[in-house]
Amino acid sequence: MYSLTSSMTVSDRPSVVSSSKEMNGDAANFSVVGKKPKVVFVLGGPGSGKGTQCAKIVENYGFVHLSAGDLLRAEINSGSENGTMIQNMIKEGKIVPAEVTVGLLQKAMSESKVQKFLIDGFPRNEENRVIFERVTKIDPEFILFFHCTEQEMEKRLLSRNQGRVDDNIDTIRKRFKVFVDSSLPVIEYYEIRGKVRKVDAARPIDEVFDSIKPLFMPFVQDDLLTLSENLLHAIDNGDYTTYKRLCDTEVTSFVPEAQGHLVQGLDFQRFYFDLVLETKKLAVACPSVQSIISSPTVSVLSDDVGLVTYTRLQQKLGSPSEGMVVAYNETRLWKRVKSTEGEWEWKNVHLHQSKTPSS
């Protein structure tokens, strides 16, 4: 089985967590607001295996797969005024303006709850690239380029049986030429900027995917740190529903309040949340709590296991003791499991907490 161990400190993090307050030093406030979309462009010749690998990336890393061609077809099928205009242009043999295609991509991204996108077969040319960058103000994380010889791609296209009318030798070679003439300049542009991740796509499917996995480890690390931040946010706000959703039902905890015992299950945590709610009911002015994660390190131990360690700085607000900070060293073990809907999701399966010597 393929496995990978990778660690990241906050200074290595692909995207620093944005906050409603200023961050000091290496402390990252967990209040995540307005996170910028992350985009990976996927390019490769016809038959290079882009679609197959995109499906595996979506399943394993939670990306949204967007295809400019699919979006154009969906807009036509919607019967909208915009869709009619697109259909008429295609019938007349005209090229759909880049602004229209980019507009559909931007609309799809804005409507998505997930903000990680694989944009397949785009930008097809330099005009697409320029318009996308100008309209969205998004710089792609990298370009995933599936490199494959024309002979291999031709062989794959001729052997597949998908009922595509353009999978004949003449049209296949025309598609190759279009890719070379239009898309290669885009790849060259990003290569100069150090953004191209070239993959040998001539190998078997699983081997190709194994070579892709390390490229997506920073996204996994970022996700695990964000999940840990969200968990602390739920604790500070007495949000048991979110806490329960992020934890495994058999989560184990080793915390000072357990007096040396390993606690299993959510009952202990539920008792804590109920106590917080009861305190808020009784108190006229119950102080709020704010946690800040400091010096986090994220380690991906395998495809399905991750470890997040950090110092949690907990501060009470709106009380006589306002400004006093209690510090804990915390380690959270996360495991990737399949939900009842059959989708992969990360669950917190263990917490180890201890007070720092200064606390």
Question: What is the DSSP secondary-structure string of 166-208?
Answer: T-SHHHHHHHHHHIIIIIHHHHHHHHHTT-EEEEETTS-HHHH
Q: Sign of torsion, CA 110 114 116 119?
A: negative
Average pLDDT in the chain: 83
C-alpha distance from residue 308 to each of 114, 291, 294, 297 (Å): 22, 16, 12, 6
Closest CA to 72 of 47, 109, 38, 97: 97
Q: CB neighbours of 29 closer than 8 A, spacing ≥ 6? A: 17, 19, 20, 21, 23, 292, 293
**Is residue 22 helix, strand or coil?**
coil
Q: Check pLDDT > 80 for residue 30.
A: no
Query: Cα(183)–Cα(45) distance, rounded to whole angstroms?
Result: 9
Supply the pLDDT for residue 91.
Answer: 80
Angle value at C-alpha 346, between 256 and 245, nearest 5 degrees: 70
Helices and strands (H, E) in the chain, number of each type: 12, 13
Q: What is the pLDDT of residues 298-308, one digit of tens each?
A: 999 999 999 99
Q: Name which residue leads in pLDDT, 167 or 256.
A: 256
Separation CA 306–CA 292 (nearest Å): 20
Residues in the chain: 359
Q: Report which listed range, 30-44, 55-69, 256-270, 316-330, is most confident.
A: 55-69
pLDDT tens-digit readout, 145-154: 999 877 888 8
* Residue 173 pLDDT: 76
* Contact present, 269 and 349 (Cβ < 8 Å): no
% of the chain residues with pLDDT over 90: 52
In whole angstroms, give the CA distance from residue 132 to residue 189: 14
Is the per-residue pLDDT at 143 higher than 80?
yes
What pLDDT sits at residue 255?
Answer: 87
**Greatest mean pLDDT among 59-63, 66-70, 318-322, 345-349:** 345-349
| Secondary structure letter of residue 59 according to DSSP | H
Residue 286 has pLDDT above 90, yes or no: no
pLDDT in tens, 188-241: 999 999 999 999 999 999 999 999 999 999 999 999 999 999 999 998 888 899
**Model confidence over 157-188: pLDDT tens digits?**
887 655 454 557 767 777 777 777 788 899 99
Which has the closest alpha carbon to 234: 32, 2, 24? Answer: 32
Model confidence at 19, pLDDT cuts 50, 70, 90, reads very low
Residue 215's DSSP bridge partners are: none
Residue 21 pLDDT more than 60? no
**Cβ neighbours of residue 320 under 8 Å, at least 6 residues apart?**
none
The C-alpha atoms of residue 160 and residue 347 are separated, in whole angstroms, by 39
Query: According to DSSP H, which parts of the chain are helical?
Result: 50-61, 68-77, 81-91, 98-110, 126-136, 150-159, 169-178, 184-192, 205-212, 217-236, 240-246, 267-282
- Burial environment of residue 101 by CB neighbours within 10 A (0 to 12, 13 to 18, 19 or more): buried
Residue 185 is which amino acid?
P
Map out the domains of the chain with their CATH numbers: 37-137+149-200 (3.40.50.300), 220-355 (3.10.450.50)
pLDDT at 123 exceeding the cut of 60 = yes
Asked which of 137-141, 264-268, 276-280 is least confident by mean pLDDT, the reply is 276-280
The larger pLDDT score, comparing residue 49 to residue 32, is at 49
pLDDT higher at 86 or 259 = 86
Query: Above 80 in pLDDT, residue 121?
Result: yes
- The pLDDT, as a whole number, for residue 6 is 60
